Structures are given as structure tokens and as C-alpha cells.
Amino acid sequence: MRFVIDANVFLELILGQERGDECRKFLNWLSDRSEGIAASFTIHAVEAIAGKTEAGRKSLRTFFELLAQSDFEVYTTSLEEEEMILDITERQGLDFDDGLHYFISKKFGAILVSFDKDFDHTDIKRLTPREALLRYT
């Protein structure tokens, strides 16, 4: 099974937020497999948000190491795919980054791991990190 990871999962961990431990456990579990997909857009979003503080910038180094060690696939969309994502946002009522995660999940037949409930009205499967661990370990 493949998993597309939303930025909010990485940010919970990097920023030391309430569900950070849940995210750490999931990402550690996933690091033993070659089943994680992160959009290049997601990586840049995490960098932009975490990079606003000194503590966040320090955490980014750990984030990069985690991605490198876990053999995450970083997926970059083509311009044609960007157009398809715009269509998805209109049809599904999602914003662009959610449309991107929807598109990648459909393309790879993957489960989206996210805390964002905006996906719950779509036809893709969304699990929180905890739910993914409970279901697949």
C-alpha cells in the first residue's frame, strides 16, 4: 500500500504540535518501507511554514534527513497535471493543495494520510496517521 502524506502531518511533527507524536510514530513506521509519497509542493510548503522561526529551521534538517532515510518518493507534477488539478479543485470543491493531494492519491492508487477533513466528501480514502498505523500494522 502506498501513502500520500499531507503537509499537516509533517508540520505537526516539525512544529511540536499536539499530534506530533502520532505523526512521528507513523513516519517512523513508514520509513521502513518505500511506500511514502510527498508532493514537491508539500516539501516546499513545509519549508516555507517551518522556516519562519529559528526552531523550525533547525527542525527542517531533521525533516530532510527523515525524507532521505525513508526513501520517500517526491513527486513533481507536470504543467499538464497542474491543469488537471485545477479541474479537480472545481469539481471536488477543494483548494489547490488539496486538489494536488487528491490527484496524486488517485494517480498512484494511494491512501492519503492527512488531518484535513475536506477530503471526506471525496472518493479517496483519507486516514489520520494513527488510523493508518492501526489499520496497516
- Domain total for the chain? 1
What's residue 40's pLDDT?
96
Q: Which pLDDT value is given to residue 31?
A: 82
Quick one: pLDDT at residue 108?
A: 96
Q: What's the pLDDT at 78?
A: 97
| Cβ contact 130:9 at 8 Å | no
46: domain CATH number is 3.40.50.1010
Q: What is the pLDDT of residue 42?
A: 95
If 0-12 CB within 10 Å is exposed, 13-18 middle and 19+ buried, where does residue 72 land? Answer: buried
Tens of pLDDT, residue by residue over 39-60, are 999 999 999 998 888 888 888 8
Q: Which domain holds residue 39?
A: 3-136
Q: Where are the alpha helices (DSSP H) in 51-95?
A: 54-70, 79-92
Q: Low-confidence residues of the chain, pLDDT below 70? A: none
